[in-house]
Amino acid sequence: MEALARLPIFLALQDKRAVLVGGSTAAAWKAELLSAAGARVDVYAQNPSEELLAIAAEAPRGPIAVHARAFEAADLNGAAIAVGAIEDETQAAAFAAAARRAGVPVNVVDKPALCDFAFGAIVNRSPLVIGISTDGAAPVFGQAIRAKLEALIPRGFARWAEAARTWRPRIQSLGLSFRARRQLWERFTQAALARPNDIPDPSELEALSADIDAEPERIGSIVLVGAGPGDPELLTLRAVRALQSADVILIDDLVAPEILDFARREAKKMLVGKTGYGPSCGQDEINQLMIGLARAGRRVVRLKSGDPMVFGRAGEEIAACRAAGIAVEAVPGITAAQGAASRLAVSLTHRRYSRRLQYVTGHHADADGGLSADIDWKSIADPSTTTVIYMPKRTLHAVTASALEHGIDPATPAVAVVEATRAGEIVLRGSVADIAARLEAIAPSGPVLVMIGRVLATVASSAQEAAVPAAGSSA
């Protein structure tokens, strides 16, 4: 998981005391917010504004008491939270220090250095509440995101969330198994998403729980999910849904760590990577693990970098699942060639220069370090073809040598991309004659692909390129 600027928590303030210092409009807003959360709000202000007094007179939930005097440190006794809307820097610092001495978490409006916590922008469908924070960096940006979410989240979700809170004790009392309870809540969620503006009533619960005990314990399932080339924004919506419903995630060695931020927190995550020419989980071992987990009733996601159907050994895994009678499906991902080409703004096909696009693996099935005997070198040498070579780190010298032997023009443009679409992406531009030497010079540890063809002449010089001398030149 990536580092968090702040820990997002939701604080229960029902019937707890909140101390608020200040009488301005900002103080009035905070008083209303604290009251809406159920707190008993004591406001200390020598000159309370009319707006503050009006809100106190019609508190949304918890009572608001306005004390027309200066704040004193003793006022913090018994407080669960302290908030200050204080312009004067010295007074604000004194208030924050007093709160910390009293062991009360404190926030001072527009003074982040004095704050133990921050108020975020809120989308309120209570008890469904979404908080948004920019850690004080750009409050207007946070408000804009809130506005977008307000338009996306139906107001009817509040009724469904309230129904869930009301029904939970009844559901717990039904004595259902964990799997049956989970299935009931999945039905509930599907109903809420399908009919957000309906008003759920007790009969809805009866309908959702009908026959749930009668259903046999389901065998699990397996989903092969493409994680894309690395940039988490290239993950598909269907892939996200699969990750969020998985019980177990079996992770390919090349999957970017950021992708796992989309996974269900409770899911068990297991690394089953296969590193070329290095220590690896065997394919048979992975197949047996997937099938065993599914037979135990688990929903298994086999998470693969790129597209699982492109050099991902998906065919073997699908065949093993079908032979075992396990339901299996595949969720496509953006393959590395597409991701790299898009990042470079180069079209892999072109009416003038490339009538054919082909993907070739540089990794032999027997993992002996050699090339496959069935590679069609004539098609690679064809000037009207764009070739993308996957996993070429160990074999690129042999690939380019064979292509040259079969007549490819040595000046044909070639581009090697390391860690395509990721933060550490490196692009090496060269030709078929020198691209292997350029790649060898930087000895990359991350995933690599190499693209060959006349369309690569259009790659912009602004691409992030490693500082590597051209083959045969002096450093």
Check residues 430 and 276 and name the one with the higher pLDDT: 430
Residue at 251 is within a domain: yes
User: Under 8 Å CB-to-CB from 374, ≥6 apart: which residues?
Assistant: none
Overall average pLDDT of the 392-410 stretch: 94
Which range among 132-141, 275-284, 401-410 shows the weakest confidence by mean pLDDT?
275-284
Both 226 and 280 in one domain: the answer is yes
User: Under 8 Å CB-to-CB from 187, ≥6 apart: which residues?
Assistant: 208, 212
Read out DSSP for 289-309?
A: HHHHHHHTT-EEEEEESB-TT
Residue at 60 is within a domain: yes
Check residues 276 and 187 and name the one with the higher pLDDT: 187
Count of CB atoms situated within 10 Å of the CB of 202 = 11
Q: Give the pLDDT confidence of 215-239 residue by residue, as tens digits.
A: 555 678 899 999 999 999 999 988 9
Residue at 170 is within a domain: yes
Q: Which of 110, 116, 114 is nearest to 136 (CA)?
A: 110
Both 345 and 446 in one domain: the answer is yes
Q: Check pLDDT > 80 for residue 242.
A: yes
Q: Which of 334, 368, 384 is the last residue of a domain?
A: 334
Both 423 and 353 in one domain: the answer is yes
Residue at 124 is within a domain: no
Overall average pLDDT of the 87-96 stretch: 96
Q: Check pLDDT > 70 for residue 413.
A: yes
Both 202 and 228 in one domain: the answer is no
Q: Which residues are catalytic?
A: 252, 274
Q: Which of 367, 366, 389 is nearest to 376 (CA)?
A: 389
Residue at 131 is within a domain: no
Task: Report the C-alpha gap between 457 and 464 in whole angstroms.
Answer: 16
Count of CB atoms situated within 10 Å of the CB of 297 = 13
Q: DSSP strand E in 392-434: where?
A: 413-418, 426-431
Both 344 and 439 in one domain: the answer is yes
Residue at 9 is within a domain: no
| Whether the Cβ atoms of residue 254 and residue 273 lie closer than 8 Å to each other | yes
CATH number of 275's domain: 3.40.1010.10
Q: Which of 383, 381, 387 is nearest to 403 (CA)?
A: 381
Count up the domains in the chain and report the number. Answer: 4
pLDDT score recorded for residue 205: 83
- The domain in which residue 201 lies consists of 156-209
Residue at 50 is within a domain: yes
Q: Which of 309, 334, 359 is the last residue of a domain?
A: 334
How sure is the predictor about 364, in pLDDT bands with cuts at 50, 70 and 90? low
Residue at 366 is within a domain: yes
